[in-house]
């Protein structure tokens, strides 16, 4: 809120809408101040605002300038004292998009906002993702991934699974934890424990409903999503090896974790891997008052050097797990992640999560692009519809709005694809061209304080760090795992001390 008020204070120095372009460097300066210390803000601001005062040549303006200056300085200073501004602070995403829009036409944006009653720039957290990383590094203890794998297998065996099945589930979850996908690693285990024997059928056996040289449709019979997912992707890989392409869709399954695991299974074997899943309903189609879509992630992994290209993200502005993670940490939601039925952003993570979990349309996550057409919400909404087609429609399973209905529950649907790059010619040449291209993108000049990454770079960095130093788990996740193990008489000591 303070940033917003600072911006309003500065814009008030430039009273006509036509002055907005002149105001822009000043507002940009406010934001870049986060990279400096408060005493530098003092001199920096002083210079900018004195120049503004002399340019306008009026005593009353000069007075307003100095009052605004003191207000702004105090706000920044208080924020710094409260530890909310650090050396690595950057412009929050919503501010960046606002500025990008102002570059095109500041007047138009402000008029549109006024018309639509929108809050494009309201965000109280400065670069939430950087803050999350900074906090989590200190807050979490590291654990040995090999011991965690054994513990998961022990718990799975206690639930009635074979040890091999236990390792399969452990590997999918461990992949997420090792690659920095914290929302879909072991912190998901609590969900599986709560679904075991009701949504998840521990005795379920998958059934092949249709099989062609290039495709397979499977009824997952409410087996754990990881078991259905690994079997389905293995079938795709086998088909791709013989025909060049393999496609599978699974209906009546359960939560399968990070979509990227399955895409990576193919990439590890030199193939292009694709995976997607629908979920339980939690996302609002653009402008709808009723949640109807899932967070519906799409993952694509493509062989490249020094590591595969790895795109793995939900088609909603955030995954549900991230809202849960923020609530676990007691942090405010930044920007527009969750909205109420009036399309107003909710920022209290605990309140937003509680509303989402009541499943009665008190709140919904918005699609990628946000809650308006101006920000591109219709595009994320479209990606999500594609996921529904390839997962639920083709398999005859439940679309997201119906996944949680039925007794037994209808369940979730997934889709998998593997493509052998041989169908494009020499796979090594394709890989070399792509790797070169990715390096060109990485080498692009970046905005100050940032680096151009490509998809998969963060995960590769997390992997080398976590393989060497262990997996950082939130203490709440550790308590949950210990309680699950205790309830089953499984010894967690050694893995979770
Ligand atoms: N099973 C389910 O029901 C379900 C539902 C939703 C999401 N998920 C999983 O949750 C996980 C997290 O999803 P998310 O939507 O939070 O993803 P996210 O917002 O963390 O985005 C991750 C993707 O963006 C890339 N990326 C991040 N920063 C980048 C940068 N600066 N430049 C280039 N690329 C960058 C990463 O490499 C990765 O491909 C995924 O594994 C997804 O499959 C699962």
What is the rounded end-to-end Cα distance, in angstroms, of the chain?
41
Radius of gyration of the chain (CA): 25
The CATH number given to whatever domain includes residue 345 is 3.30.60.50
What CATH number does the domain containing 160 carry? 1.10.1530.10
Do 260 and 167 share a structural domain?
Answer: no
Rounded distance between C-alpha atoms, residue 75 and residue 304, angstroms? 47
CA 96 – ligand 1 centroid, Å: 20
Range(s) of the domain holding residue 222: 201-313+374-435
pLDDT digits (tens, 9 = 90+) for 175-223: 999 999 998 999 999 999 999 999 999 999 999 999 999 999 999 999 9
Per DSSP, the residues of 397-442 read: ---HHHHT-TTTT--EEEEEEEE-GGGGS-HHHHHHHHHHHHHHHH
CB of 130 closer than 6 A to ligand 1?
A: no
Q: Tell whether ligand 1 has an atom less than 6 A from the beta carbon of residue 192.
A: no
307 and 402 assigned to the same domain: yes
Average pLDDT score over the chain: 81
What's the gap in Å between 243 CA and the centre of ligand 1? 30
Residue-wise pLDDT tens digits, 17-47: 445 455 555 555 655 554 454 444 554 455 5
Q: How many whole angstroms from 455 Cα to the centroid of ligand 1?
A: 9
Rounded to the nearest whole angstrom, what is the distance from the C-alpha of residue 459 to the centroid of ligand 1?
10
Instruction: Please say whether the beta carbons of 159 and 488 come within 8 A.
Output: yes
CB of 391 shorter than 6 A to ligand 1: no
The whole-number pLDDT of residue 45 equals 53
CATH of residue 248's domain is 3.30.1370.60
How far is the centre of ligand 1, averaged over its atoms, from the C-alpha of 97 (Å)?
A: 20
Query: Left, alpha or beta for 273 (phi > 0: left; psi -120 to 50: alpha)?
Result: beta
pLDDT in tens, 422-481: 999 999 999 999 999 999 999 999 999 999 999 999 999 999 999 999 999 988 899 999
Pick from 415, 414, 413: which is nearest to 397 by CA? Answer: 413
Residue with tokens 């372009």: 21
Say how far apart CA 320 and CA 295 lie, in whole Å: 7
> Considering only CA atoms, which residue is closest to atom 21 of ligand 1?
313
| 299 touches ligand 1 (CB under 6 Å) | yes
List the residue whose alpha carbon is closest to atom 35 of ligand 1. 455
Sign of the C-alpha dihedral computed for residues 350, 132, 342 and 5 taken in this order: positive
Do 483 and 411 share a structural domain? no
Peptide bond into 393 cis (omega under 30): no
User: Are residue 380 and residue 304 in the same domain, yes or no?
Assistant: yes
CB 6 within 8 A of CB 72: yes
Residues 6 or more apart whose CB falls under 8 angstroms from that of 358 comprise: none
Task: Say if 130 falls within a structural domain.
Answer: no
Same domain, 347 and 295: no
Look at the chain and count its residues. Answer: 497
Look at residue 50 and tell me if it is in a domain: yes
Is 492 a pocket residue for ligand 1 (Cβ < 6 Å)? no
Q: How far, in Å, is the centroid of ligand 1 from the Cα of 379?
A: 17
131 is a domain residue:
no
Residue bearing the bigger pLDDT, 15 or 452: 452
209 in the same domain as 80: no
Spatial distance between the Cα atoms of 102 and 99, rounded to a whole number of angstroms: 5
Does a structural domain hold residue 86?
yes
Is ligand 1 within 6 A of the CB of residue 311? yes
Residue-wise pLDDT tens digits, 85-118: 333 333 333 333 333 333 333 323 223 332 222 2
Q: Are residues 277 and 324 in the same domain?
A: no
Q: Average pLDDT in the 359-387 region? A: 96
291 and 393 fall within a common domain: yes
Q: Are residues 331 and 298 in the same domain?
A: no
The residue among 198 and 131 whose pLDDT is bigger is 198
pTM for this model (two decimals): 0.76
Could you tell me the distance, in angstroms and rounded to a whole number, from the CA of residue 183 to the centre of ligand 1?
Answer: 9
User: Is residue 77 located within the same domain as residue 163?
Assistant: no
Q: Are residues 73 and 173 in the same domain?
A: no
pLDDT at 238: 98
According to the model, what pLDDT value does residue 329 have?
Answer: 85
For ligand 1, what atom is nearest to the CA of residue 257?
1
Q: Give the DSSP letter string of 14-32.
A: S-SGGGHHHHHHHHHHHHH
Residues 6 and 44 in one domain: yes
Domain count, the chain: 4
Atom 12, ligand 1: residue with shortest CA distance: 313
Closest residue CA from atom 25 of ligand 1:
455
Question: Using a 6 Å cutoff on CB, does residue 322 contact ligand 1?
Answer: yes
What pLDDT is attached to residue 295? 95
């Amino acid at each position: 809120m303070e940033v917003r008020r600072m911006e309003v204070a500065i814009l008030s120095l430039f009273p006509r809408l036509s002055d907005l372009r002149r105001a822009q460097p000043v507002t940009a300066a406010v934001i870049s101040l986060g990279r400096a210390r408060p005493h530098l803000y003092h001199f920096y601001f002083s210079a900018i605002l004195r120049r503004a005062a002399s340019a306008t040549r009026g005593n009353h303006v000069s007075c307003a300038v100095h009052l605004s200056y003191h207000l702004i300085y105090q706000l920044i200073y208080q924020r710094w004292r409260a530890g909310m501004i650090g050396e690595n602070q950057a412009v929050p995403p919503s501010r960046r998009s606002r500025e990008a829009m102002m570059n095109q036409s500041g007047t138009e944006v402000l008029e549109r906002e006024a018309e639509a009653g929108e809050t494009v720039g309201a965000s109280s957290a400065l670069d939430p993702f950087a803050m999350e990383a900074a906090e989590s590094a200190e807050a979490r203890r590291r654990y040995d991934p090999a011991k965690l794998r054994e513990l998961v297998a022990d718990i799975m065996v206690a639930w009635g699974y074979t040890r091999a099945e236990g390792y399969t589930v452990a590997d999918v979850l461990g992949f997420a934890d090792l690659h920095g996908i914290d929302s879909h690693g072991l912190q998901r285990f609590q969900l599986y424990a709560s679904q075991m024997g009701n949504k998840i059928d521990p005795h379920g056996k998958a059934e092949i409903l249709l099989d062609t040289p290039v495709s397979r449709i499977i009824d997952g019979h409410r087996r754990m999503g990881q078991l259905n997912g690994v079997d389905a992707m293995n079938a795709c890989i086998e088909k791709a090896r013989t025909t060049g392409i393999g496609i599978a869709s699974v209906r009546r399954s359960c939560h399968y974790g990070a979509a990227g695991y399955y895409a990576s299974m193919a990439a590890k074997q030199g193939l292009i891997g694709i995976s997607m899943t629908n979920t339980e309903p939690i996302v609002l189609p653009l402008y709808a008052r009723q949640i109807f879509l899932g967070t519906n992630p799409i993952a694509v992994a493509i062989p490249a050097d020094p590591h595969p290209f790895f795109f793995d993200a939900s088609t909603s502005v955030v995954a549900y797990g991230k809202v849960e993670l923020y609530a676990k940490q007691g942090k405010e939601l930044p920007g527009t992640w969750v909205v109420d039925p009036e399309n107003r952003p909710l920022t209290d993570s605990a309140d937003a999560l509680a509303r989402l979990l009541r499943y009665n349309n008190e709140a919904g996550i918005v699609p990628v692009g946000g809650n308006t057409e101006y920000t591109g919400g219709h595009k994320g909404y479209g990606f999500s519809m594609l996921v529904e087609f390839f997962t639920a429609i083709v398999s005859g399973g439940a679309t997201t709005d119906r996944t949680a209905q039925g007794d037994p529950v209808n369940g979730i649907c997934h889709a998998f694809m593997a493509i052998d790059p041989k169908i494009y010619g020499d796979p090594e040449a394709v890989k070399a061209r792509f790797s070169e291209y990715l390096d060109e993108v990485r080498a692009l000049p970046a905005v100050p304080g940032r680096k151009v990454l490509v998809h998969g770079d963060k995960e590769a960095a997390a992997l080398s760090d976590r393989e060497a130093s262990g997996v950082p788990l939130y203490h709440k996740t550790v308590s949950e795992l210990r309680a699950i193990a205790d309830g089953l008489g499984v010894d967690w000591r050694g893995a979770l001390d």
